[in-house]
Chains A and B, each alone.
Chain A
């Protein structure tokens, strides 16, 4: 972008802000940031988003950086990228090299900031100066004890951090030196300098694995990806302790964003792709099945690479869908029969192949998949289609594709909206679940009554407490479920574990099976006992099981369990959001009466002495042994 174009765009943005058009201003700010990701543009984007933050649907997230080096210039870049991804990021940066005190002292500024996430960015030269500066002077014994000292320090910091905070913790791995102290001999030394540092990183990985919500950022790998020789700028390091060269700042900032996007829940659940010149080269309606470019050789290889990337996303639990302007018969023939296709019909959870506008197709896909429009990402080679979708559906993540198809795959892999911090069994089988869902919908149409259909479905619900294998899934459900969610309270994995350990709280998971397959864990309820009252803190179900009466079975169990603990009343709250209207009538439909209502929401009561919720007779209820329903009695 030229200086003048940049200035004109800035003027246009300020004009839109003063005219009171926040959504349009945000779209142009994102455009500016896509074209100029330098420090000046970062400061501009942040200051304008700050003036708009009350008028845009931004997710709040608070991050603390604990560090041993200068990272201040990265913060406006990170905040600008976060704003453009829908996240209003509050940042606190700890003092130089005070990370240990900050973590160990429960009253430090770290905890006072009440962060949602914390990044611990420490350089090898700062935490292990002997391994960095004097390696060739150390005995094998001294090397081992230095690795041990650093690893134990990290273990202690992570443990103490977990005692004081349930925020996510992102640990930078330690970097290897550009020039090993022993020169070429390092490769033959035992242990080599590189190996000693790799050993600390291995220990760091196993420490992270012991605690929920602790993640590794492969800082050494990031440097290697971008080239160790070019990563550091000694002039900036020696004068300002900034160890990253100006041109690489954005890569570190982007790497942080890949963690913050899934942590704040601003992820894409589905990737919707165009066909012609996106999934394959050429136009199927003109070139025919035998004429399109797709295969292991150039130019078809570029499109196969993109398909391979999409296959990886699908294994991460991201749904794939097609939205294309084509004749469906021709397009489907290519998808099913072309030998170069890595993706076939069964990989796609929904398809809209017609001559309708793409915005309409995207809306229909969202509703068919039961997800919100803002959970869609859109991939199309045509800039006109992208602009149309951006302007009519500003909540959709529209991926800016470069002109060269050989860069498509990397562009998609770099999108933070497809990052996941953990994979549940449900994620890996999601596409198959949607296929089963289609079979259910077909079966439903063939029954005269709902009851007949429910008996035919043969549903079993399994209720259980929290297990280490399921805690990530339960946290994920509280973070992702927007529609059938009575209170929309978001919990981290650590918070779920903390609640499950308390005597006055009960955390339940709900798993649903039927004759078509296993839905996996699709519901979470959290209750809080106060004297003889049992309050439902959280009650949510994934949309794909709504309307099959399993919500009634879940509620019936919760009430039953509460009365076993000698509770006499169930209190439920409905806290309305923009998205949870499907849950609005839940308590009244189950015999609760409304006790109060204000602008924040309504409170509902069921008196267990006179009323109960019955388990639907067509549902088989299984309560697992670790379900601590009656841990008081």
Chain B
């Protein structure tokens, strides 16, 4: 079975923020992860767009406040583009 969206987001965030994937939880956020600053947020956006082949709008980028929120957002974007 291919990895779920949440698993993929955790793996990407783990690469970008240099935090092991098993310490990356749905409620992990810029408040709980020190390395998650505005530059890493931009890197995260670029990596997500590349991995899932989606374009994130400025409003959506603003909404990405935790790993869980990012997964939900990506999931709904993938569903919209699939339907």
Contacts and interface: CB of A to CB of B under 8 A. Distances in A.
A239 B58 CA distance: 7
Contacts of A257: none
Contacts of B79: none
13 contacts: A4-B2, A38-B50, A39-B16, A40-B11, A41-B15, A43-B17, A43-B18, A47-B18, A73-B39, A235-B57, A242-B42, A246-B50, A247-B50
Interface size class of B (residues with CB under 8 A): 20 to 34
A73 B43 contact: yes
Contact of A235 (B11, B51, B55): B55
Interface in B49-82: 49-51, 55, 57-58, 61
B29 to A, nearest CB: 18
A4 B3 CA distance: 8
Interface string A51-77: 000000000000000000010110010
A239 B50 CA distance: 18
Interface size class of A (residues with CB under 8 A): 20 to 34
Q: Residue among B39, B46, B51, B61 with the most chain A CB within 10 A?
A: B46
Interface of A: 3-4, 7, 38-41, 43-44, 47, 70, 72-73, 76, 235, 239-240, 242, 246-247, 249
B3 A3 contact: yes
B28 interface: no
B50 A240 contact: no
Given A39-B46, A40-B16, A73-B46, 12 more contacts: A3-B3, A3-B51, A40-B47, A40-B50, A40-B51, A43-B17, A43-B18, A43-B43, A70-B42, A72-B39, A73-B43, A235-B57
Interface in B1-55: 2-3, 8, 11-12, 15-18, 39, 42-43, 46-47, 49-51, 55
Contacts of B3: 3-4, 7
A240 B2 CA distance: 33
Given A7-B3, A239-B58, A240-B42, A38 B47 contact: yes
A49 to B, nearest CB: 12
Given A40-B51, A43-B16, A43-B18, A7 B11 contact: yes
Given A4-B2, A7-B11, A39 B18 contact: no
A43 B15 CA distance: 6
Contacts of B11: 3, 7, 40
A26 B58 CA distance: 37
Contact of B12 (A4, A40, A76, A249): A40
B46 A246 contact: yes
Q: Residue among A3, A39, A73, A76 with the most chain B CB within 10 A?
A: A39
B61 A239 contact: yes
Nearest to B62: A239
A248 to B, nearest CB: 12
Contacts of B50: 38-40, 246-247
